[in-house]
Amino acid sequence: MASVEIRGVKKSFGAVDVIHGIDVTIADEEFVVLVGPSGCGKSTLLRMVAGLEQITGGQISIGGRIVNNLPPKDRDIAMVFQNYALYPHMTVRDNMAFSLKLRKADNATIESRVKHSASSSCMTGGSSKSVPRWISTTIRRICSLPGSSARRR
């Protein structure tokens, strides 16, 4: 984990100012929730921290390193999306293991992360089945967890 410092961050989409200079300090291992009405800029702020959206002004630091101009892959952080896309031809388990495999994690690590995410979210059995079309958004998010938690230090 790492600290996150957001200093005077602004975001405009064309002529529309969406975030007007926000300051947030998040300590290492601190759990923070952003609350606000729809359209106030929560997702935009998260996307700027992840590097998926350029900031218009200000500064973002992760673990003491300014990341303003770093691409997402070099920020060493993970984002669990509201609606995580799963591969329908793969099993639930293989979906959970997928990003770890891409990062060439060894089998023991993959097995333990997948098991940990499944059991800590009360997902019992069924992970060897293909992804059903009606799978819930909650299960989709759980499937993305092993890959996200792999980014721990």
Point out which residues bind ligand ADP (CB under 6 A). Answer: 13, 18, 36, 38-44
Residue 100: is it exposed, middle or buried by C-beta count within 10 angstroms (0-12/13-18/19+)? buried
Q: Least CB distance from residue 43 to Mg ion, whole Å?
A: 3
Binding of Mg ion at residue 46 (CB under 5 A)? no
> Would you list the DSSP string of 80-143?
--SS----TTSBHHHHHHHHHHHTT--HHHHHHHHHHHHHHTT--S-TTSBPPTT--HHHHHHH
Q: Least CB distance from residue 79 to Mg ion, whole Å?
A: 12
CA–CA distance, 148 with 100 (Å, rounded to integer): 9
The interface partner of residue 2, options being ligand ADP, Mg ion, none and the CB cut-off 5 to 8 Å by kind, is: none
Binding of Mg ion at residue 43 (CB under 5 A)? yes
Residue 13 or 87 having the CB closest to ligand ADP: 13
Sorted by sequence, the CB contacts under 8 Å of residue 151 that are 6+ apart come out as 76, 77, 78
Q: Least CB distance from residue 115 to ligand ADP, whole Å?
A: 32
Cα separations in angstroms, 4 against 36, 43, 62, 80, 102:
20, 16, 5, 17, 26
The interface partner of residue 38, options being ligand ADP, Mg ion, none and the CB cut-off 5 to 8 Å by kind, is: ligand ADP
Q: Least CB distance from residue 35 to Mg ion, whole Å?
A: 11
Sole window of 5-13, 43-51, 127-135, 144-152 interacting with Mg ion (rule: CB under 5 A): 43-51
Q: Least CB distance from residue 106 to Mg ion, whole Å?
A: 36
- Binding residues for Mg ion, per CB under 5 A? 42-43
